[in-house]
Amino acid sequence: MGIRHAITALLALLVLALPASAVAAPSTGAVVFSRVTQHTETKKVEGEAPQPGEAPKTETKTVIEGGLFAVRDGRLNQLTEDPADTEPAFSPDGTSIAFVRGSHLFSVRADGSGLRQLTSGPTLDTKPVVSPDGRLVVFERRAAAGAPADLYTVRSHGGGLHPLTSGAADDHDADFSADGRAVAFVRTVGTTDAVFSVRPSGAWLARLTRTGGVDEFEPR
């Protein structure tokens, strides 16, 4: 299986130790990352006039802001305005970004336009990876936090949701081959990990390793 172009991954800690991740576009030199900031605001309480000699009544609230940001050549551009936007993944040509908002997948152009929701429903969808041709996104789908994941694909512009794996095993850490003809991933059953591959159609599931007692992760 070929090895795709390396994508630089960064991890930063921001205000109050809230995490932000960054991914570089291999073809444009831009870096996209998620950022969350938190601050307090104090305002006068409207509709309540103070008594003579009393200071105006105020209320203080915590404001959380954030979203996806892109930086290139020292210039910063905010792409989205939802602090729940995380796990950005560039398309190989750098023109679009798949990401997670809350529990669903979305995509947006690299300039912040063209926001699309790719998945919906009560499930928890995470870890998007865009195929080499930019047409598909493979991701992990869970019934709830902490539940085992199955792998799915969806078209990068929405629609065409398709399961790649199913069952009680936890399938995760998916990645496309360089030619886009296969997806490598880790299957965890109990305390045993093994590397598998499958076609983007869900066919030709194959187990690649048998190493009991060894943790395996992030195949590329």
Q: How far apart are CA 37 and CA 199, in angstroms?
A: 40
- Residue 15, SS3? helix
pTM of the model: 0.80
What is the pLDDT tens value at each position of the chain, 220 positions in all? 333 332 223 223 232 233 456 777 766 688 999 999 998 887 777 767 776 767 777 788 888 899 999 998 889 999 999 999 999 999 999 999 999 999 999 999 999 999 999 999 999 999 999 999 999 999 999 999 999 999 999 999 999 999 999 999 999 999 999 999 999 999 999 889 999 999 999 999 999 999 877 788 999 9
Q: How far apart are CA 1 and CA 208, in angstroms?
A: 11
